[in-house]
């Protein structure tokens, strides 16, 4: 019974925790991130152990905890024209 509990509950949870810890250690200045609150931003400064400064809009920087980072957004290839994305946002 304990082995079944280990395989179905404990082991996957430990794996998720380890992956999240690794993600937080890999954050670098310039990375685009997604926060747990749903904000996208660019890392501008790494603080002490548990905080970082993120620019969420031009000229708007916020200090936040590393544990609030849900994902690092992968860099996409520049297939579209440089102004095409800005036109879509308008």
pLDDT of residue 69: 92
Q: Are 58 and 42 in contact (CB under 8 A)?
A: no
Gap between the Cα atoms of 66 and 22, Å rounded: 11
* 44 has a pLDDT exceeding 90: yes
Structure tokens at 54: 């993120």
Identify the pLDDT of residue 81: 53
**Domains of the chain, with CATH numbers?**
2-75 (2.30.30)
Question: What integer pLDDT is reported at residue 58 of this predicted model?
Answer: 94
- Predicted TM-score (pTM) of the model is 0.67
Which pLDDT tens digit goes with each residue over 16-35?
Answer: 989 888 888 889 999 999 99
Question: What pLDDT is recorded for position 5?
Answer: 79
Closest CA to 29 of 9, 47, 56, 50: 47
Q: Which residue has the higher pLDDT, 73 or 76?
A: 73
């Amino acid at each position: 019974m304990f082995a079944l509990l280990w395989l179905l509950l404990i082991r996957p949870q430990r794996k998720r925790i380890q992956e999240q810890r690794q993600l937080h250690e890999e954050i670098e200045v310039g990375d685009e991130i997604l926060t747990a609150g749903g904000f996208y931003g660019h890392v501008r400064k790494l603080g002490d152990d548990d905080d970082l400064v993120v620019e969420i809009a031009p000229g708007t920087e916020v200090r936040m905890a590393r544990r609030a980072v849900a994902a690092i957004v992968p860099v996409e290839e520049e297939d579209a024209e440089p102004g095409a994305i800005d036109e879509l946002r308008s």
